[in-house]
Chain A
């Protein structure tokens, strides 16, 4: 079955440090992949998406992600985090069948130390 896995439930980094959130997928063909961010009390906001082409995609708020087919990964990165980046991050992929359902990972909660 197609799935999206985020291995880390919680991640803590210091403000100004670099960040990498992991995401692995299992799809037969090239998937459509996304990263969303959910701030407390808010809905989900799209950070970036990968459909095809360049495997390094740039998103909003200084985030980027790299699609690596050989590792079935789509990790999210940011060179220097800010306290306002504290939130929950969801990796997601399109389920390649008739209904095109988006499959979400369980999320990674990011904590920022001052």
Chain B
């Protein structure tokens, strides 16, 4: 089954304790991205990757890191989480046709609470 898998689904952590949220897709998509969703603000892009070893900042990259060592995986790293990073996070992937992204496929989300 084609899917984007995020882990964990729920995470409570303390301020400053490094954490990683994993994301994996089995559709051989080139494009992957991370979003955070907050009430009243909709979905905001954190980072994206056009292909392996190619990553770039989205709209709200501060406090986050990513890597793309393999095509299928795109982990999100919070080196020193803070309470303002409490949010619902989504990973997404897209294929590309004629140089353009097509629709995004989303993971189930990771609800992160930083205390």
Contacts and interface: CB of A to CB of B under 8 A. Distances in A.
Contacts of A44: 90, 92, 104, 106
Interface stretch (A15-23, A60-68, A71-79, A93-101): A93-101
Residue among B43, B48, B58, B94 having the largest count of chain A Cβ atoms under 10 Å: B43
Given A32-B100, A100-B100, A102-B104, A43 B109 contact: yes
* Interface class of chain B by DSSP: strand
Contact of A107 (B42, B45, B48, B90): B42
B39 to A, nearest CB: 10
B40 A106 contact: yes
Interface string A6-47: 000000000000000000000000001010100001111110
Interface of A: 32, 34, 36, 41-46, 49, 51, 90, 92, 94, 99-102, 104-107
Q: Which 5 pairs show the lowest CB-CB distances between chains A and B? A: A100-B101, A106-B42, A43-B106, A44-B106, A104-B43
